[in-house]
Amino acid sequence: MLLHIPRVLTTEQVASLRSRLDNADWEDGRATVGSQGARVKRNQQLPEHCAIGREMGREIMAALADNTTFFAAVLPARTMPPLFNRYGGGERYGVHIDGAVRKTPDAGFQLRTDVSSTLFLSDPDEYAGGELVVHDTYGAHEVKLPAGDLILYPSTSRHEVMPVTEGCRISAFFWTQSMIRDDHRRSMLFELDQAIHALRQRHGDSNETVILAGHYHNLLRLWAET
């Protein structure tokens, strides 16, 4: 499932993050990938252990905790604290697939990468190029969102970031291990959840919505891994 979630961060929150990131010390992004990723990755990244990155990551995690769409779509079991990257001067990240298992910067736990997320911190008119392209069985999907908006997609997807030819593209990115490992099941549960919510908004609670909600929770109970 490829899903755009608008306004995860407010304009004020984005401005606060950007003011700190614009003055941060960046490193070569290849420091955090394996040999395959290093061949195609050309960008800059905030060091994983830096204090400012951890502080900003906590702020993003707090915003995600309040976002009901993110929870419904991802059904998170555990989420890796966000990291931050920057592209400019022709930098790009060639076609790749995210590693299946990630270790948190503090080595507190490992997680299986089920869902990948990119939170845009630069508006589209701040840079040229830099589209996130996600490849699936339906083709290639180009994504370039307003600052504060998030895109999520299965970590099993091949994806790339196109060269940034002008300006600077800044974003946060992170991975989540879902309670529902299978993307198809996760998508079905999300669509069922959204349909139940829409029916309640339109008609109020009824015997039918109670039955549908029961099926949702019983499917979640059947498929969930914690």
Looking at residue 27, its pLDDT comes to 94
Is residue 115 a contact partner of residue 174, using CB atoms and an 8 Å limit?
A: no
- What number of CA atoms fall less than 13 Å from residue 1's CA on the CB side? 22
Is residue 143 a contact partner of residue 134, using CB atoms and an 8 Å limit?
A: yes
Nearest Cα to 118, choosing from 96, 143, 97, 89?
143
Q: Is the pLDDT of residue 32 over 70?
A: no
Looking at residue 141, its pLDDT comes to 97
Mean of per-residue pLDDT scores for the chain: 95
Q: Tell me: the pLDDT tens digits for 137-174?
A: 999 999 999 999 999 999 999 999 999 999 999 999 99
Kindly report the CATH number that applies to the domain delimited by 3-178.
Answer: 2.60.120.620
Looking at residue 152, its pLDDT comes to 98
Is residue 218 a contact partner of residue 189, using CB atoms and an 8 Å limit?
A: no
Question: Model's pTM, two decimal places?
Answer: 0.94
Residues 158, 134, 115, 102, Cα dihedral to 10°: 40
Q: Is the pLDDT of residue 36 over 80?
A: no
In the chain, alpha helices (H): 11-21, 35-40, 51-65, 68-74, 183-203, 207-223
What confidence category does residue 107 fall into, taking pLDDT thresholds of 50, 70 and 90? low
Domain extents for the chain? 3-178, 183-223
What confidence category does residue 33 fall into, taking pLDDT thresholds of 50, 70 and 90? low
Specify the amino acid at residue 16: S
Looking at residue 29, its pLDDT comes to 87
Is residue 158 a contact partner of residue 168, using CB atoms and an 8 Å limit?
A: no
